[in-house]
Amino acid sequence: MRATEGPTSLVKLLPTPRPLDTAQNGQTLGRGVDFALTMLVFLGVGALVDHWLGTWPLVAIVLVVVSVVGQFLKMYYEYSATMDQLQAERAAARAAQPKSAPSSEQAA
């Protein structure tokens, strides 16, 4: 870059950002990280309890299974709520559209 060029000339080289198509874009990575971290936390707590009780790996396995089931239930309820919201928005948009008058061909 030459000394006469400023940061605005560099900005021209960057692609223009595209608007998000839906509200779901970018959330799947967050859900995956949330799933993995929750499972690891439960595994860690289970390992500590197992070490304290001397029952390795019983409590760790139980807590990992509980965390996985809980995460799947959380995803299911979030998905259901999102789909219900989208369905209600579509129904409201459909109801807001003006009714078209029947044409003379359809009336006959």
Q: Residue 39: CA atoms inside 13 Å, Cβ hemisphere, count?
A: 13
How many helices (H) and strands (E) the chain has is answered by 4, 0
The pTM for the full model equals 0.65
Low-confidence residues of the chain: pLDDT under 50 = 1, 20
User: Considering only CA atoms, which of 32, 22, 23, 26 is closest in space to residue 72?
Assistant: 32
Q: Report yes or no: 48 and 59 within 8 Å, Cβ to Cβ.
A: no
Give how many domains the chain has, as a whole number: 1
**Residue 38: inside a domain:** yes
**Residue 10: inside a domain:** no
**Residue 53: inside a domain:** yes
Q: Report yes or no: 46 and 63 within 8 Å, Cβ to Cβ.
A: yes
Q: What would the pLDDT profile of 2-20 be if each residue is shown by its tens digit? A: 555 555 665 666 666 655 4
Domain that holds residue 60: 27-94
